[in-house]
Amino acid sequence: MIPPDKIEEVRLANDIVGVVQEYVALKRRGQNHWGLCPFHQENTPSFSVHPGKGIYRCFGCGKGGNVFSFLMEVEKLTFMEAVKALAERAHIDLPVYSKREGDAPSEVEQIVEANQTARDFFHTQLLSTPTPGARHALEYLTGRGFTNEMIQAYMIGYAPEGWEGLAERARNSRIPLDVFVKAGLLKIGQQAGRPYDVFRDRVMFPIRNLAGRVIAFGGRRMSEPEPGEPSAKYINSPETAAYTKGRELYGLWEARNEIRRHDRVILVEGYTDAISLASSGIRTVCASLGTALTEQQARLLLRFTPNVFILYDGDEPGLNAAKRAAEVMLSCGAQPRIVEVPGDEDPDSFVRAHGPDEVWALVNGARGLVEFQTDRGKRSNLPVAQIARELIASAALIPSSIDREAFLQEVSGKTGLSLDALIAEMTQIRRPQNLRETRRRKSVWPPVGAARDVIEALLSSPEIQQEFMPKLQIDLIKDELLRTLAAAMISMFESRGEAAPEILATEFVTSPVSDFLASPYNDVLESLQDRDLSDSDRVSRDRRRAASGLVAMQLEVANFELDAVQQMLRQQELSAERITELFRQYHDVKKRIELLTKEKNPNTP
């Protein structure tokens, strides 16, 4: 077990804005930083981070918490893994802790460890093993203009010929062999039952997620396949617990800071395109990993910048793929630009032949989908109506009606067709509104009521806590989870003099309490309606809420007692003594309710 103080030290050492920025670009507005939520799909930001408190909250899906819950959720880590990752990030040494059952690494963590072992093995093979195969691979890479710096930065490696290179390394590691099999790096031979390498004589490109962890590989074949052996030019790791196809972008981790800094990205198709461009000095680049761009990839990229330049191959299939990628971007509410490589060249060969300045010239001449498609159509002598119909189909994907109309206006300008005609045509084909659930988490917890009000007010500031925490009676709270939270607040208040939501969030990291703890600081109503409230206005508002909430809690209980007494009075065969006793109770409770009601509404006579 890591002591709580150490965990709190790790939390404090990791600025939440910095950690979240690794996954989402944030813009400051008021007290909070805002960005697109990484936990649900959206086109306008509803995810906010409160830097002072170290807490985040999304008012779209309701998720909230501190830096630990953020990393757990976004990386699918256990609590311990999140603490370890953040300790590493902040260069804090954690005490060696004894392994308990709950601390066993998750499958994701195991696969990542196997992948990282393999990555180191492949990288060493490429750079420091003087075999003919490795030399050939290195010649191939340098021949493509890959600089040594980029080979290091992207940790490119070489999987040797032969069948047991990695298998041997795996046997000597402390990771069980079956984890390497699960990761798709080894297979077990049918006959001998011995493990053998899946990737052989291939240049290896590690695919990293946004935490910089290796979740998969792409391998490019170096030699021609032996007769009878099916061998694709590129093979990728299979899907595993750590890797889902179509969800990651190659090179995004390596380029993320540059992309954010320059607020733009060049999207290419393949590994080699990305690394060629990066080697030439164009660093704001990432690749869709050889498959058609998915909506998830588009949204991932848009979390970093809205300015996407699609740079695919210059041949017909490449241009078609670029059009489809642009449509995916449009459907996510973005306005992508398409960069056309002249002739049949691809970005890799183009940058090698012409250098980075020529690439920038192409990027500066990038066009939106309307211009790109009308130019293409005119080049192929397509009838105007056909060009327009295709563009109308693209327009139908755009979620915002204003953007849709602006897009059609451009089509109208380019084709000479009237906007009315274009709109009429689109109304016919426009798909029924996307019915996909926005996955709004219903705020089922905590239940609405006086207890919730009081807790919320208490969480809002230490001043309120000083005044009202001693008056909080937890046995009056009916909801069990809320009562647990209240008890934790009281105990922290007694030991530290303050119940800090950002620290409590660690204690409740896997519970809905975490979402709730973040709400007083990151609530959208708070930021919209109360933006102009001064701090003292805010405190007096919360003081009123706490005071009236505490009274209301007692009222709730008193009313409950009154009901009980009335029910008992309705019973038959009560002794005269018992009736007198019950009446006395009845009047006592009545009196209490009267006093409490007066306390709650002091202005009514």
Q: Total number of residues binding Zn ion (CB under 5 A)?
A: 6
Q: Using the minimum distance from each CB to Zn ion, give the nearer residue, 122 or 521.
A: 521
CB of 358 to Zn ion, least distance (A): 42
Report the alpha-carbon distance of residue 137 to residue 423 in Å, rounded: 55
Interface region with Zn ion, contact rule CB under 5 A, candidates 53-61, 452-460, 481-489, 490-498:
53-61
Contact 237, 183 (CB under 8 A): yes
Choosing from 45, 54, 60, 133, the residue that interacts with Zn ion (CB under 5 A) is: 60
Interface region with Zn ion, contact rule CB under 5 A, candidates 54-62, 349-357, 400-408, 482-490:
54-62
**Which DSSP state fits 40?**
S
Interface region with Zn ion, contact rule CB under 5 A, candidates 58-66, 86-94, 359-367, 572-580:
58-66
Tokens linked to 167: 């298998």
CB of 255 to Zn ion, least distance (A): 25
Q: Using the minimum distance from each CB to Zn ion, give the nearer residue, 41 or 147.
A: 41
Q: Using the minimum distance from each CB to Zn ion, give the nearer residue, 60 or 133.
A: 60
Q: Using the minimum distance from each CB to Zn ion, give the nearer residue, 37 or 551.
A: 37
CB of 21 to Zn ion, least distance (A): 17
Q: Using the minimum distance from each CB to Zn ion, give the nearer residue, 40 or 169.
A: 40
Q: Using the minimum distance from each CB to Zn ion, give the nearer residue, 40 or 545.
A: 40
| Cα distances (Å, whole numbers) of residue 325 to 298, 345, 389, 572 | 8, 19, 18, 78
Q: Using the minimum distance from each CB to Zn ion, give the nearer residue, 48 or 284.
A: 48
Interface region with Zn ion, contact rule CB under 5 A, candidates 51-59, 200-208, 332-340, 581-589:
51-59
Q: Using the minimum distance from each CB to Zn ion, give the nearer residue, 70 or 312.
A: 70
Choosing from 7, 36, 58, 596, the residue that interacts with Zn ion (CB under 5 A) is: 58
Interface region with Zn ion, contact rule CB under 5 A, candidates 56-64, 239-247, 268-276, 384-392:
56-64
CB of 511 to Zn ion, least distance (A): 18
Q: Using the minimum distance from each CB to Zn ion, give the nearer residue, 220 or 303.
A: 303
Q: Using the minimum distance from each CB to Zn ion, give the nearer residue, 37 or 282.
A: 37
- DSSP E strands in 222-314: the ranges are 234-236, 265-268, 285-287, 308-311
CB of 47 to Zn ion, least distance (A): 6
Report the alpha-carbon distance of residue 526 to residue 29 in Å, rounded: 13
Site for Zn ion in 239-258 (CB under 5 A): none
Task: Please report whether residue 61 would count as binding Zn ion according to CB under 5 A.
Answer: yes
Nearest to 252 by CA among 51, 13, 87, 25: 25
Site for Zn ion in 28-47 (CB under 5 A): 37, 39-40
CB of 296 to Zn ion, least distance (A): 15
3-state helix, strand, coil in the chain (%, to 5): 55, 10, 35
Nearest to 235 by CA among 204, 276, 196: 204
Q: Using the minimum distance from each CB to Zn ion, give the nearer residue, 40 or 323.
A: 40
Report the alpha-carbon distance of residue 160 to residue 226 in Å, rounded: 15
Report the alpha-carbon distance of residue 66 to residue 521 in Å, rounded: 12
Report the alpha-carbon distance of residue 562 to residue 539 in Å, rounded: 34
Q: Using the minimum distance from each CB to Zn ion, give the nearer residue, 245 or 441.
A: 441
Q: Using the minimum distance from each CB to Zn ion, give the nearer residue, 205 or 521.
A: 521
Contact 138, 148 (CB under 8 A): no
Contact 145, 276 (CB under 8 A): yes
- Tokens 């670009």 map to which residue? 25
DSSP for 159-225 reads E-SSSSHHHHHHHTSSS-HHHHHHTTSEEE-TTT--EEESS-SEEEEEEE-TTS-EEEEEEEE-SPP
CB of 399 to Zn ion, least distance (A): 17
CB of 117 to Zn ion, least distance (A): 35
Interface region with Zn ion, contact rule CB under 5 A, candidates 52-60, 115-123, 307-315, 393-401:
52-60
CB of 11 to Zn ion, least distance (A): 22
Report the alpha-carbon distance of residue 308 to residue 565 in Å, rounded: 69
CB of 397 to Zn ion, least distance (A): 22
Site for Zn ion in 125-154 (CB under 5 A): none
| Cα distances (Å, whole numbers) of residue 603 to 180, 544, 594, 597 | 73, 14, 14, 11
Report the amino acid identity of residue 99: K
Q: Write the interaction track for Zn ion spanning residues 96-115; mark x where CB under 5 A is met and - where it is not.
A: --------------------
Report the amino acid identity of residue 133: G
Nearest to 429 by CA among 383, 375, 391: 391
CB of 519 to Zn ion, least distance (A): 13
CB of 58 to Zn ion, least distance (A): 3
CB of 46 to Zn ion, least distance (A): 6
Report the alpha-carbon distance of residue 129 to residue 136 in Å, rounded: 11
- Tokens 């001064």 map to which residue? 534
Q: In the complex, which residues of this chain contact Zn ion (CB under 5 A)? A: 37, 39-40, 58, 60-61
